[in-house]
């Protein structure tokens, strides 16, 4: 009995060691100064082949849309909404509706007004969901910090 239990424990540990967490999307961040009082925050998703993430604009009943929440600050203000390039829109059986998404790479942009010379970084959190033609991964929340150059 002890051998069987020991064998089961060894098997479970070795199986867990070979399991891989899927991470088909990598995020990177940058800022571009427009002038002394304005900048644009660039949030880039690099997506593995066969996978996609969803647009900022997804109708109710569909997948989790990509969204960005910027940490409130007295040192800067958001100007308008976060923007995106034109997404691919197709019917997805999983959601029984047309959905808009991005493949390979996408750069989202948020314009900000700087109210202080002391701003060194913009912080926030993003949420997104990624799918391929066989499955969807659970939505993921990621904290980000974007350095703001002079």
pTM for the whole structure? 0.84
Mean pLDDT of 103-120: 94
For residue 103, tell me if it sits in a domain.
Answer: yes
For residue 142, tell me if it sits in a domain.
Answer: yes
Domain with residue 91: its CATH number is 2.60.40.1250
* CB contact set of 149 (below 8 Å; sequence gap of 6+): 31, 33
CB–CB of 51/131 below 8 Å? yes
For residue 3, tell me if it sits in a domain.
Answer: no
pLDDT in tens, 56-107: 999 999 999 999 999 999 999 999 999 999 999 999 988 999 999 999 999 9
Tally of residues, the chain: 150
For residue 14, tell me if it sits in a domain.
Answer: no
What total of structural domains would you count in the chain? 1
The C-alpha atoms of residue 117 and residue 120 are separated, in whole angstroms, by 8
For residue 15, tell me if it sits in a domain.
Answer: no
The C-alpha atoms of residue 127 and residue 27 are separated, in whole angstroms, by 11
Range of the domain at 95: 23-147
DSSP letter (8 states) at residue 64? P
């Amino acid at each position: 009995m002890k051998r069987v239990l020991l064998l089961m424990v060894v098997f479970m540990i070795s199986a867990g060691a070979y399991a891989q967490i899927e991470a088909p999307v990598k995020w990177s961040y940058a800022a571009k100064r427009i002038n002394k009082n304005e900048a644009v925050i660039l949030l880039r998703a690099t997506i593995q082949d066969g996978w996609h993430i969803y647009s900022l604009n997804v109708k109710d009943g569909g997948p989790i849309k990509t969204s960005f929440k910027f940490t409130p600050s007295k040192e800067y203000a958001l100007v308008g909404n976060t923007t995106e390039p034109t997404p691919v829109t197709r019917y997805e059986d999983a959601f029984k509706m047309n959905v808009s998404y991005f493949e390979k790479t996408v750069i989202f942009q948020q314009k900000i007004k700087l109210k202080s010379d002391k701003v060194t970084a913009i912080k926030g959190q993003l949420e997104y969901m990624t799918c391929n033609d066989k499955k969807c991964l659970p939505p993921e929340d990621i904290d980000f910090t974007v350095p703001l150059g002079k």
